Amino acid sequence: MSTIQVEPQAEPVPDSPQRQVVNDFSIQVATVNGSGSQSSNNVLMRAIFQMGVPVSGKNLFPSNIAGLPTWFTIRASKKGYVGRKREIDVLIALNPETAKDDVEALEPGRVVLYEEKLNLSKLRNDLTFYPVPFSKLAAEIAEDAKMRKLVANMVYVGSAAELFGIEMPEVEIAIGKWFKSKKKAVDLNVRAAQLGAKYVRENLLKKDPYRIERMDETRGKIIIDGNSACALGSLFAGVTVVAWYPITPASSLCESLIEYMRRYRIDRQTGKATFAIVQAEDELAALGIAIGAGWAGARAMTSTSGPGISLMAEFTGLAYFTEIPCVIYDVQRVGPSTGLPTRTAQGDILSLYYLSHGDTRHLVLFPANMQECFDLSIRAFDLAERFQQPVFVATDLDLGMNTWMSDEFRYPDLPIDRGKVLSAEDLERIGEFARYRDVDGDGITYRTLPGTRHPLAPYFTRGSGHNEAAKYSEKPGDYLQLVERLARKYETARLWVPEPEIRYSTEGARIGVVAYGSTDAAIEECQDQLRTEHAIDTNYFRPRALPFTAHVQKFVDRCDRVYVVEQNRDGQLADIIKLDVSCPQKIRKVLHCTGIPIDARFITDQILAQEKGA
């Protein structure tokens, strides 16, 4: 059963101080929200990245502006694993409130670099402790209290760099990049880092096995968060009307979009914007504006998270039934209700699929990495206009707000697809027009845009019953014809949505793993664990969209058992798969819903436990 809890199995503990653990450990920085640790954490992560070592960064933060505990985890992984690593190898403890708990949660053999004042070394005798007087050192170079606090963060970066072999010149470059042209800030922070390093050099003896060594695995790579990647995708998709309402964790999507649009979408000749962005009064209005714009022919979008999706239900049904294109980003967070606003989940899948009353089914895309946040954003706009319906792009807080390494984004090679739009010339040539007539037999009908100067062009859009000619109708035959055509359109979409990623084992494995979205980040590592530690070979299937393509049935056919791994309580995608395949009894669920990003070890343990009973 999916709910069996297994004894957690820790990664093997480094057996002796002589053993080196190179480029394969995680650093967790425990600070206080609002203390300015964002810059130092980023610098630390970037410095490792610049040394050619694959990294990922995850910020675990409270729903609060300042004062509550926050943790930032940097994972260095020579194998390129980017999922969360369950075990913390190095704790950098700066927050008096959580320090004791943080230390106690560590596996034996791990390392604590901490603010000397916190006096942590007596808590345990199976860890390596490095006390450093960060704030005292900061006081040497920064006079006022606020500045001291900020600078203290960069002191720990220097100390960590010295301890773990992160090269100081790279730290300095990263500082320069972060603070950009602010020379004074750059100088101050560089001095702080150097001070932290110097203290370690002169006062501490390295006793732990963790080291960063130069590699060449990050050349040509970028570091970005998913919200920015989606924003870039929207920019290059040619979005023209954007309406949004602030909500964690989606806000930064439209905020970075605003920055990119201001930079790249102001007409050179006139200085005017080739876009309109509206911060709406609520999510209802945000989607309403997008729908009005989509109806009038703009490429329109909104972005939100779970609570906003709930509010958008009615309008989504309208757009589905009246066949109006728009793109809706859902950067998922933990629900129901307000839930855990700053924690990640994949809990909106069923909501998105069926959003609104009556018979509805929507197109949902699942980007799993930064490149796909970009690519599938562009696809979403094309699909929305091709199918004349809302298209959801479902990411989550982990993808959206955390920083990920990625290949450079590829410039779109296909032109923008505006779908079946008839111009005045088209109407003149064809000589007839019925808005909802299925001329091509694919369920997708032709539309005209308001403002088209032709007597055949105008039609009346209504959320009430309508016939092929867009006239009001309550006739049973008209209704049936309409909803059956919409179902047919949905079948056509199976041929157009992004295909899944499928990796069959060369060993003829009979166990399948299914994951999507941010969960994908933990899968390769999990498959490696199953293979190397337990000789279990697995196939992998990663859907990138709803509706499913025909591949899902074939995949399930080739497996005896299929584990659908997702980050919600009930196994929402697993249930949709069950509806779609002929052998639903093969589907099993591996579910993680703590708000913390899923990790490979959890999945491995869950699959093993279920396999024992298999």
Partner 1 sequence: MSVTSERPKNQNIIGLTTADYKGLPSTLCSGCGHDAITSQIVKAFFEMGVQPYQVVKMSGIGCSSKSTAYFMNASHGFNGVHGRMPAVATGAVLANRNLICIGVSGDGDTVSIGIGQFCHLLRRNVPMIYVIENNGVYGLTKGQFSATADRGSRLKTGVVNDLPPIDCCALAIEMGCSYVARSFAGDPKQVVALLQGAISHRGTALLDVISPCVTFNNHEGSTKSYKWAKEHEELLHEIDFIPYFEQVETVDYGEGEIKDIPMNDGSHLTLRKVDRDYDPMNKNGAIRLLQESRDAGQFLTGLIYVNPVSENFVDVLNVIEEPLCLLPQNQVRPGPEALKQVMRELM
In the window 197-256, what residues touch partner 1 (CB under 8 A)? 220-224, 232, 235-241, 243
Helix (H, G, I), strand (E, B) or coil at 345: coil
Which C-beta is closer to partner 1: that of 113 or that of 318?
318
Task: Name which of residues 167 to 196 contact partner 1 (CB under 8 A).
Answer: none
CB atoms within 10 A of CB 453: 8
Which C-beta is closer to partner 1: that of 156 or that of 409?
409
Of the candidates 248, 325, 253, 315, the residue with the CA atom closest to the CA atom of residue 286 = 315
**Min separation Cβ 333 and partner 1, Å:** 24
**Min separation Cβ 487 and partner 1, Å:** 23
Q: Determine which residue in the list 12, 358, 455, 613 makes contact with partner 1, applying CB under 8 A.
A: 455
For 561, phi and psi rounded to 5 degrees? -135, 140
The answer to whether 443 and 488 are in contact (CB under 8 A) is yes
Q: Cα(605)–Cα(520) distance, rounded to whole angstroms?
A: 16
Total residues in contact with partner 1, by rule CB under 8 A:
73
Which span sits near partner 1 by CB under 8 A: 4-12, 444-452, 533-541, 603-611?
444-452
Which span sits near partner 1 by CB under 8 A: 22-30, 103-111, 137-145, 277-285?
277-285
Which C-beta is closer to partner 1: that of 196 or that of 297?
297
Which span sits near partner 1 by CB under 8 A: 37-45, 457-465, 481-489, 541-549?
457-465
Q: Binding to partner 1 by residue 157, rule CB under 8 A?
A: no
Residue 359 is encoded by which pair of tokens? 């018979």
Which C-beta is closer to partner 1: that of 113 or that of 328?
328
**Min separation Cβ 230 and partner 1, Å:** 13
The answer to whether 82 and 53 are in contact (CB under 8 A) is no
The residues, ordered by sequence, that sit 6+ positions from 612 with a Cβ below 8 Å of its Cβ are none
**Min separation Cβ 343 and partner 1, Å:** 26
Q: Binding to partner 1 by residue 291, rule CB under 8 A?
A: yes
The answer to whether 514 and 565 are in contact (CB under 8 A) is yes
Which C-beta is closer to partner 1: that of 127 or that of 287?
287
Of the candidates 294, 8, 278, 48, the residue with the CA atom closest to the CA atom of residue 157 = 48
Q: Binding to partner 1 by residue 460, rule CB under 8 A?
A: yes
**Min separation Cβ 442 and partner 1, Å:** 24
Q: Determine which residue in the list 19, 122, 272, 429 makes contact with partner 1, applying CB under 8 A.
A: 272
Q: Cα(302)–Cα(277) distance, rounded to whole angstroms?
A: 10
Q: Cα(321)–Cα(453) distance, rounded to whole angstroms?
A: 26
Cα torsion at 133, 136, 142, 145 (round to 10°)?
110
H or E segment and range at residue 24: strand 24-32
**Min separation Cβ 359 and partner 1, Å:** 17
Q: Which amino acid is at 301?
A: M
Of the candidates 327, 342, 252, 331, the residue with the CA atom closest to the CA atom of residue 294 = 327
H or E segment and range at residue 429: helix 424-430
Residue 380 is encoded by which pair of tokens? 């979403």
Q: Which amino acid is at 46?
A: R
Q: Determine which residue in the list 354, 459, 479, 504 makes contact with partner 1, applying CB under 8 A.
A: 459
Q: Binding to partner 1 by residue 154, rule CB under 8 A?
A: no
Q: Cα(577)–Cα(562) distance, rounded to whole angstroms?
A: 10
**Min separation Cβ 190 and partner 1, Å:** 21
Which span sits near partner 1 by CB under 8 A: 83-91, 313-321, 538-546, 592-600?
313-321
**Min separation Cβ 256 and partner 1, Å:** 11
Which span sits near partner 1 by CB under 8 A: 28-36, 74-82, 405-413, 587-595?
405-413
Of the candidates 55, 92, 61, 89, the residue with the CA atom closest to the CA atom of residue 75 = 55
Task: Name which of residues 361 to 390 contact partner 1 (CB under 8 A).
Answer: none
Q: Determine which residue in the list 297, 306, 308, 347 makes contact with partner 1, applying CB under 8 A.
A: 297
Q: Binding to partner 1 by residue 294, rule CB under 8 A?
A: yes
Task: Name which of residues 76 to 115 contact partner 1 (CB under 8 A).
Answer: none
The residues, ordered by sequence, that sit 6+ positions from 565 with a Cβ below 8 Å of its Cβ are 513, 514, 515, 519, 522, 523, 590, 591, 592, 598, 603, 606
Q: Determine which residue in the list 409, 436, 496, 516 makes contact with partner 1, applying CB under 8 A.
A: 409
Task: Name which of residues 472 to 531 contact partner 1 (CB under 8 A).
Answer: 472
Q: Binding to partner 1 by residue 296, rule CB under 8 A?
A: yes
**What value does the CA radius of gyration of the chain take, rounded to a whole number of Å?**
27
Helix (H, G, I), strand (E, B) or coil at 69: strand
Q: Binding to partner 1 by residue 458, rule CB under 8 A?
A: yes
Which C-beta is closer to partner 1: that of 17 or that of 458?
458
Of the candidates 93, 83, 132, 556, the residue with the CA atom closest to the CA atom of residue 344 = 83
Residue with tokens 């102001």: 266
Which C-beta is closer to partner 1: that of 158 or that of 297?
297
Q: Cα(486)–Cα(313) distance, rounded to whole angstroms?
A: 18
Task: Name which of residues 12 to 41 contact partner 1 (CB under 8 A).
Answer: none
Instruction: Please count the residues of the chain.
Output: 614
Of the candidates 211, 23, 29, 25, the residue with the CA atom closest to the CA atom of residue 134 = 29
**Min separation Cβ 226 and partner 1, Å:** 13
Which C-beta is closer to partner 1: that of 287 or that of 536?
287
**Min separation Cβ 179 and partner 1, Å:** 14
Which span sits near partner 1 by CB under 8 A: 5-13, 207-215, 291-299, 391-399?
291-299
Q: Which amino acid is at 298?
A: A
Q: Determine which residue in the list 90, 185, 298, 355 makes contact with partner 1, applying CB under 8 A.
A: 298
